[in-house]
Amino acid sequence: MGVVDTVLRFFVGTRNERLVRSMKPKVDQIVSLFPETNKLTDDELKAKTAEFKQRLRDGETLDDLQVEAFACVREASWRMLGARRWVTDPRTGQEIPYKAHFPVQLMGGMVLHSGLIAEMVTGEGKTFVATLAMYLNALEGRGVHVITVNDYLARRDAEEQGRVLGLLGMTVGFIQSDMDNEERRAMYGRDVTYGTNNEFGFDYLRDNMKVDPRQQCQRDLHYAIIDEVDSILIDEARTPLIISGSPEGTAELYAQADKIAKTLEGVDAEELKEKLADKHGKNVMMQDKNIYIDALTDYDFEKKEKESQCLLTETGVKKVEKALGIKNLYDGAHMQWPHLIEQALRANFLFHLDKEYVIYEGDEGPEVVIVDEFTGRMQHGRRWSDGLHQAVEAKHNLKPRAESFTLATITLQNYFKLYNKLAGMTGTAMTEAAEFAKIYNLDVVAMPTNRPLVREDREDLIYGTGDEKWNAIADEIAKMHEIGRPILVGTTSVEKSETLSRLLDVRGLKHNTLNAKFHEREADIVAQAGKKGSITVATNMAGRGTDILLGGNPKYLGLQDLKKEGISVESLLPTEMQNVPSWTIPRDVLLKAEVEFDDMISERAKKYSPECEAEHDEIIKVGGLCVIGTERHESRRIDNQLRGRCGRQGDPGSSQFFLSLEDDLMRLFAGPRIKGLMQTLGLKDGQPIQAKMVSSSVERAQKKVEQRNFDIRKNLIEYDDVNNGQRKAVYRMRQVFLAGMSRGDYFELENQVRKHVRARIKEVDKLETVTDKTRFSARVAKELSEWADKEHEAEISEDALRDIMCEEAVFRLAQTIRGKIHGEKLREAVVDRVDNVIQAILEKNVLKDVERKELWNLPEVAAEYHKAFNDKIDVDTLPKGEGGPEHATALKNHLLDQAIKLYEEREKKICSDPEGNPLKTPAGRPANGRMRQLERYLLLQSIDEHWKQHLRNLDVIKGSIHWESYAQKDPKDAYKKKGHEVFEIMLDQVDMEVISTLFRIEVKFEEPPKPQRAMDAGAVANKPAISTGTSGMTTPAPSAAQAETRRQMDAAAQGAATANTGYRAREKKKLPGPNEPCWCGSGKKYKKCHMAEDEAKTAR
């Protein structure tokens, strides 16, 4: 940092400090509005939402409304969460509204609204802060998505914050992994929707596989707030989201590969290098690489932990060939075996039970379940790709599930970049600020704390061996327990938490264990982890989402009392609503029950509050919560999150990490340096090092790992950027084929229609104010029908617009206009493909030698034209000339005119009655809906099939692209080039397939059923009932492979493809299967809920 920078920072502060100062005037304005909002009745407060929306329509911006909107949210929070209570501020002695946002929380809301990341110390109320930005941005009516780290937090936060926003007239929903398509559509239709990153990402992919726009769930990706943004955008960004199908694969071969892998002898690459360096000297090793290569011949494979690789040596290759009874492992006939053996080696020697995964006893038998390395939670429904999951299943003698191929994929980085505005919040973002800025264009703002932070972060203690470390940790726990401090111990894996648990059992120390195996008790354990002398052993605490309150949580104790008595929100609902999904219950009814239930909890909590408060004071006197880390995580953020569990809201606390040279991080990145230091100091067994220099060395090791992980994520996104540009182009094209416009464009269309409808109602019916529920005269209905016809050539009858409310009229008009636009877009798409096909024919046979007519292959032009358009042309009838660009252009125009003429004749034939008379709309226009329906079907079918095959082609290219480095080429550049080439080929194939099918297919149409709603006349007029076989479309019978592929695509589109999603579609109007979620919305499996009762009813 230069002298000028230092002087500026001294006088004007850092950029972060200046930004925080700039928000204070607005914060003061918001707080000053409390007396005004406090005078409003609940109905008047709710009416402010309609007022704000009208002001937006009149031209004001969200920034103009921010102060008033935040003040209303603050008021609603005080009423709903604070029960209109006043409490005394211990710092000032003044009375303040309970559960009304603090000034620093209001600043946090401003940061989120600005599309930035708010770094707020753990315990400062991040979830609470989000409601401010959620409400303000939801006023635009385009939906707000709030991304959380698991289903439990999504449901909990939606229910709690839904009370606040419900008072303001906003609707809040949440997505759960077991919801079906209808439930998801309902939830996405609400103003604010909570859910996990996986659910939002997979719904996006599934929506872009749907063949009916009415089945699409998500609205426009407008604004998202990500809770624990570092966990989602960084920790989980290394794994792409993939929806897969299951072909006939190599499942039975994994057991054979596993059997062979277990016979092979390997060596750790780092250990071998260290051993050889001791023997020959480091300098000799660096100069003579053959020493290492020769040493490898004694082993079958080398293990590289850092790279997570197991590579066969020449010796190992020969062993494998002998075991398989083949001559050449890398012969084309045995291509699958090298990959199978490598994955089997990784499964056996790099992936460990109770660390990377657990064996979970499910209802259908034992299964391998991945454990999230950052949170310690089981990741049900997620599977490792590329055959690794099957290899781990074979390792434990479980039947491997079929391997899968990609149907749709996207990285989290590129998914979240699709949002118009993105914001996030976390307790630990500054360490990754550069990555947020570089990849997501998001700046980080560190927020001040509401109360001064009082926490002692002690230097690390480093021991020589793991046993010494574990004994020292047990001693420290016993010591802290004796003086009455609650202790939270963080471990990095299930295996290590159980090791410590056994050690504490031997010492007679009662404790709770929180890891992937006991996640069902998570809320219970964490809620009481602050009790005097309690001991909680937990895997990584990142994203646990529950505060540890010193002295215990009185509300939790009150809740337990109610549970024992069988009282819940559901039990307080009217009887007829107690066994139905929560999303079907009217919001005001559900809200009333929730408020009543919360009041009951608060009432019961009063019994426990004195006891908890007294215990809280005792614990503060002895030092607060004691946090112990059993080893450093590979990310400093995770360590900081563990530390952040203590010292909340001004409470005291301490944190300390106990390390050993046998820890993974130390062994791989920092061991030799610190080991040498311990030997230099002459420390005895059991004696630790504790010094700033050592802690700094550990942090340097963590930075190495963080940089490596950043490189992995950067590499992933650079490769996916190729897919991403292509995916966006295909999905944009597909959405036009499917519905005529994007969901964002439809939103704009609705706004334009709404503006016109309201203006006509005001002018014709002489009304000063028009709302969504305003009804209008028959004269307005007539004018709107005429306007749609005149301005958009969209036909909707007056009857369809009579006796309905304003917003329903907007919907019907917008749908009708979209239907008209959809038809025009489909026709444009087909004409574009006609042009593309002719251009491709000419490029191959004419344009490559455009100046030399003698090289033009006009007979081939005629042959390919016939192949595409099913129309013979005589070469002698083609335009004459001497060659050159002008002659080529004339040739193209001639072919294009001929093709368009054929197209129009075909449209006329298809859109005629059996007697050959052209079909007409009620207004006398040509009714061409049949042709548009056929075009839509062909375009979607072709783009879906070819896109799926294109993804498989890209996987193949990516798998072999590393060989380009041997030719001194950058693999990423080569991948971009080859990816672009195969994409262009794919588009050409789509064009040719659509055109050649359209100009050959024989079509029979059945009469459509009479529309149920008058508005359908414009939107779906002439929609043909297309059937296949002898009575419908007649095309060459697809092969068995094509039929199976199509079936899998359709299944995946409905969410039924079993791949990485954990999502199952349920048949409507049928009872769920025994292992499916119950219809009542309880979240329990059907067989454990209402199955017996339903069977009894059926029997009667």
Amino acid of residue 1009: P
Residue 101 has pLDDT above 70, yes or no: yes
Residues 770 and 824 in one domain: yes
β-pairing, 144-148 vs 223-227, is parallel
Tell whether 668 is covered by a domain: yes
Q: Per this entry, what is the length of the chain?
A: 1100
Identify the pLDDT of residue 696: 78
Residues 434 and 485 in one domain: no
Tell whether 730 is covered by a domain: no
Identify the pLDDT of residue 925: 83
Amino acid of residue 982: V
Last residue of a domain, one of 699, 716, 733: 716
Residues 700 and 780 in one domain: no
Q: Which uninterrupted H or E stretch holds 80?
A: helix 62-80
Residue 1019 has pLDDT above 90, yes or no: no
The DSSP bridge partners found for residue 625 are 653
**Which residue segment(s) compose the domain that 1083 sits in?**
1067-1100
Q: Which uninterrupted H or E stretch holds 930?
A: helix 929-960
Tell whether 180 is covered by a domain: yes
Rounded Cα–Cα distance for residues 659 and 461 (Å)? 6
Higher pLDDT, 497 or 72: 72
- Point out the least confidently predicted range of 482-491, 711-720, 1010-1019: 1010-1019
Query: If we measure between CA atoms, which residue out of 723, 112, 102 comes closest to residue 448?
Result: 102
Residue 67 has pLDDT above 90, yes or no: yes
Query: If we measure between CA atoms, which residue out of 679, 693, 989 comes closest to residue 837?
Result: 989
Residue pair 740/817 in contact (Cβ under 8 Å)? The answer is no
Mean pLDDT on 542-559: 75
Identify the pLDDT of residue 332: 55
Residues 430 and 467 in one domain: no
Identify the pLDDT of residue 151: 83
User: Reduced to 3 states, what is the DSSP secondary structure of residue 378?
Assistant: strand
Integer-rounded Cα Rg, in Å, for the chain is 33
Identify the pLDDT of residue 1025: 31
The pLDDT tens digits for 191-217 are 999 999 999 999 999 999 998 888 899
Higher pLDDT, 14 or 920: 920
b/e sequence 961-999, b meaning 16+ C-beta within 10 Å:
beebeeeeeebeebbbebbeeebeebbeebbbbbbebbb
Mean pLDDT on 1020-1033: 30
Within 8 A by CB and 6+ apart from 239, the residues are none
Higher pLDDT, 681 or 151: 151
- The tally of domains found in the chain comes to 5
Residue pair 546/538 in contact (Cβ under 8 Å)? The answer is no
Residues 753 and 880 in one domain: yes
Mean pLDDT on 235-256: 74
Residues 871 and 957 in one domain: yes
Tell whether 555 is covered by a domain: no
Identify the pLDDT of residue 546: 63
Which pLDDT band holds residue 1007 (cuts at 50, 70, 90)? low
Tell whether 907 is covered by a domain: yes
Tell whether 592 is covered by a domain: no
At CB < 8 A and 24+ separation, what contacts does 780-783 make? 781/809
CATH number at residue 330: 3.90.1440.10
Identify the pLDDT of residue 416: 92
User: Reduced to 3 states, what is the DSSP secondary structure of residue 480?
Assistant: helix
Residue pair 938/1030 in contact (Cβ under 8 Å)? The answer is no
Range among 249-258, 527-536, 919-928 rated most confident: 527-536
Higher pLDDT, 1064 or 1022: 1022
Identify the pLDDT of residue 146: 96
Which pLDDT band holds residue 1030 (cuts at 50, 70, 90)? very low
Which pLDDT band holds residue 1013 (cuts at 50, 70, 90)? very low
CB-based burial label for 297 (10 Å; 0-12, 13-18, 19+): exposed
Structure tokens at 560: 């337990």
Identify the pLDDT of residue 595: 76
Supply the mean pLDDT for the chain.
82
Residues 998 and 1024 in one domain: yes
Amino acid of residue 650: G
Q: How far apart are the first and last CA of the chain?
A: 83
Residues 421 and 473 in one domain: no
Identify the pLDDT of residue 6: 53
Residues 965 and 1074 in one domain: no
Residue 633 has pLDDT above 60, yes or no: yes
3-state helix, strand, coil in the chain (%, to 5): 55, 10, 30
Residue pair 193/145 in contact (Cβ under 8 Å)? The answer is yes
- The pLDDT > 90 percentage for the chain reads 34
The pLDDT tens digits for 73-90 are 999 999 888 767 777 766
Residue 602 has pLDDT above 90, yes or no: no
Give the sign of the dihedral formed by CA 899, CA 900, CA 904, CA 907: positive
The DSSP bridge partners found for residue 193 are 145, 173
Residue pair 339/959 in contact (Cβ under 8 Å)? The answer is no
Mean pLDDT on 635-658: 85
Rounded Cα–Cα distance for residues 225 and 214 (Å)? 26
Identify the pLDDT of residue 504: 94
Which pLDDT band holds residue 783 (cuts at 50, 70, 90)? very high
Rounded Cα–Cα distance for residues 444 and 116 (Å)? 6
Residues 497 and 379 in one domain: no
Ordered alpha helix ranges (H), 484-527:
494-506, 522-527
Q: Which residue has the tokens 């979209």?
A: 818
Give Cα 551 to chain centroid, integer Å.
37
Mean pLDDT on 887-901: 93
Identify the pLDDT of residue 873: 86
Identify the pLDDT of residue 753: 93
Tell whether 576 is covered by a domain: no
Identify the pLDDT of residue 85: 76
Higher pLDDT, 785 or 696: 785
Region for residue 640 given its phi and psi (left: phi exceeds 0; alpha: psi -120 to 50; beta: otherwise): alpha
Q: Which residue has the tokens 């017996």?
A: 1092
Residues 819 and 964 in one domain: yes
Last residue of a domain, one of 1009, 1034, 1059: 1034
Within 8 A by CB and 6+ apart from 263, the residues are 319, 323
Residue pair 1018/788 in contact (Cβ under 8 Å)? The answer is yes
Structure tokens at 278: 């001791």
Identify the pLDDT of residue 703: 83
Residues 258 and 217 in one domain: no
Rounded Cα–Cα distance for residues 737 and 829 (Å)? 8
- The pLDDT > 70 percentage for the chain reads 83
Last residue of a domain, one of 679, 698, 716: 716
Rounded Cα–Cα distance for residues 139 and 150 (Å)? 26
Q: Which uninterrupted H or E stretch holds 106?
A: helix 103-113
Mean pLDDT on 736-743: 88
CATH number at residue 127: 3.40.50.300
Q: Which residue has the tokens 């998801």?
A: 184
The DSSP bridge partners found for residue 86 are 97
Rounded Cα–Cα distance for residues 20 and 6 (Å)? 19
Higher pLDDT, 668 or 722: 722
Amino acid of residue 868: A
Residue 226 has pLDDT above 90, yes or no: yes
Region for residue 968 given its phi and psi (left: phi exceeds 0; alpha: psi -120 to 50; beta: otherwise): left
Identify the pLDDT of residue 677: 66
For every residue of 820-886, DSSP letters joined together read: HHHHHHHHHHHHHHHHHHHHHHHHHHTGGGTT-GGG--HHHHHHHHHHHHS----GGGSPP-S-SHH
Which pLDDT band holds residue 723 (cuts at 50, 70, 90)? confident
Residue pair 409/241 in contact (Cβ under 8 Å)? The answer is yes
The pLDDT tens digits for 155-198 are 888 988 888 999 999 999 999 888 888 889 889 989 999 999 99
Q: Which residue has the tokens 């966006």?
A: 728
Identify the pLDDT of residue 839: 93
Tell whether 748 is covered by a domain: yes
